[in-house]
Chains A and B, each alone.
Chain A
Amino acid sequence: MTKPLLELKDVVLKVNRNTPEEIMILDHLNLTINAGDFITVLGSNGAGKSTLFNAIGGDLSIDSGQILLNGKDIAHESVEKRTRFLARVFQDPKLGTAPRMNVAENLLLAERRGQHRGLRPRHLNKQLDRYRELTATMHNGLDSRLTTATGNLSGGQRQALSFLMATLKRPEILLLDEHTAALDPQTSQDLMHLTNERVQQEKLTCLMITHHLEDALTYGNRLIVLHHGQVTFDVAGEAKAALTTEKLYSFFADIE
């Protein structure tokens, strides 16, 4: 359980490079993620949380440092290549699914994440029964809407589908970027429970950005705080279990 899966070493990422407005978003950031870690990521706006995810995902290229997956530097691999081991769920429900394609088609696309797509027929009908069982585990009516275009689903259904799609083909690393933030409190709680259940069951390695201190404390085995592009706080196991919202608030007050 303590084998390093992903290591970020001395990662620097700047925006507006070589202009007077140059800002260092990730400032020599170091982070080691072990296989099986479920890490909740806290930090104020502009602390670099989303940038960290984009650096891991490959949407933003880093200026210096290393990103090692199982010891191999992947910092210069394309976004497409990294999807072989990486899955993401975005905050905006619109970003996670193809709106004009139906639920089953979206699932089929996700099942081949990071793999070669050739001129073989997609064989969607063969998968329908399996997809019905899978979506039934979400308990939100998705299973009866397999042939509905995802653009016609509710935000909660879409986000649950996005989550299901991200975990359908087991990712080595799962990045959740405030994936419940756009939902109403009840739907948000449901998806959070489901996320936790699935991550535990499948023993997924997961990073979850959240602004919800309770969620950050309740879920996961490890909690990190980003501040000015560095990891300023990192607790795991019993130390994390002993944390309270009051302690976190006072910590945030100290670093500001």
Chain B
Amino acid sequence: MSLMVSAIGQGLLWAVLGVGLFLTFRILDFADMTVEGTFPLGAATAVAAISNGMNPILATLLAFIAGAAAGLITGLLYTKGHIPILLAGILVMTACYSVNLRVMSGRSNVSLLGKETLFKSHFLASLPHYFDSVVLGAGVMIIVTTLVIYFLQTELGQGFIATGDNQTMARSLGINTDNMKIMGLMVSNGLIAFGGALVAQNNGYADVNMGIGIIVIALASIIIGEVAFGDLTLNQRLVAVTLGSILYRFVLLIVLKLGFNATDLNLVSSVVLALCMMLPVFKNVLNFKHILKRGLDTND
């Protein structure tokens, strides 16, 4: 039972990554590698700030700003520097590695032992084990998802969606598509760094290598949510990301129960994601419906 609660808590805490990546991967329609650098950047920023006596809430918000700044750089390289988005993301991700070591004073792992964190507030600390991350994660996801849904329904948000949908048309309607992409990358990476700050406080440390495979985890929440819930509206899909993130944690739980090591999880995550993304192909190749029909149709 506590394993289930833990999985739900982890799913909720990590879900903000999925929502962040949704803005670039699903709406702007490109894969942004920056997130592999901004996740540990957020963790490092929050941990360093807390270690220096900053209030954990402010430190978490500072992590958002740090992530947004990294997103701004990727956006400028991509739109003004005409560097392909994949490479622009990899450049900033690589640069972040050095920055993160600087932020953590040259150490590859900084502990929060004995320091204040979001999880040590009176209310959260009074909850049963693992329920702290469920409550905090749920609170964060309700606020973040509501804000994103509201934003997408504004005039600016509609211009943002149109940019990812049809750039030529967006420009011909006076939408500054460069600014929209930069804004998307900033908010997206801000959210990812924010997620990094949450996870670091939950784990009790920041590690310079904690960004490896982050894009796969964030994608998994998005894709699993979509595969599990089928045809949805845009708003419903954003909610499905959170549910996808929880389902993904259950998958990991099962994999661990099957006897895999925690170190195998990156391999497992990639396989799960690849399978989910290939589902439409399998459906066509295996032609489920046709086989089913033939089995049922006696006149044939």
Contacts and interface: CB of A to CB of B under 8 A. Distances in A.
Interface of A: 57, 79-81, 83-84, 87-88, 90, 94-101, 105, 108-110, 112-115, 117-122, 124, 165
Interface in B157-193: 157-159, 161-162, 165-166, 168-176
A113 B159 CA distance: 10
A119 B153 CA distance: 9
Contacts of A105: 158
Contacts of A90: 168, 172
A98 B168 contact: no
Contacts of B263: none
A22 B168 CA distance: 26
Given A98-B162, A98-B169, 20 more contacts: A57-B172, A79-B171, A79-B172, A83-B174, A87-B172, A88-B172, A90-B172, A97-B169, A98-B161, A109-B158, A109-B162, A110-B173, A112-B173, A113-B174, A114-B174, A117-B159, A121-B150, A121-B154, A122-B153, A124-B153
Given A80-B176, A83-B172, A83-B174, A112 B166 contact: no
Contact of A97 (B150, B154, B155, B166): B166
A84 B176 CA distance: 13
A99 B161 CA distance: 11
B156 interface: yes
A96 B165 CA distance: 11
Interface residues of B, number: 22
Closest 6 A/B residue pairs (Cβ): A83-B174, A98-B165, A114-B174, A117-B155, A98-B166, A113-B173
A95 B158 contact: no
Contacts of A124: 153
B154 A118 contact: yes
A99 B165 CA distance: 7
Nearest to B180: A117
A175 B165 CA distance: 22
Nearest to B29: A100
8 contacts: A80-B171, A90-B172, A100-B161, A105-B158, A119-B151, A119-B155, A119-B156, A120-B154
Given A109-B158, A109-B159, A112-B155, A96 B169 contact: yes
Nearest to A115: B174
A84 B174 CA distance: 7
Given A117-B159, A119-B156, A83 B173 contact: yes
B166 A80 contact: no
Nearest to A82: B174
Contacts of B158: 101, 105, 108-109, 117, 122
Contacts of A114: 173-174
Contacts of B161: 98, 100-101
A121 B176 CA distance: 19
Contacts of A81: 174
Contacts of B170: 98, 109
Contact of A95 (B150, B153, B155, B166): B166
Given A98-B165, A98-B166, A108-B158, A121 B153 contact: yes
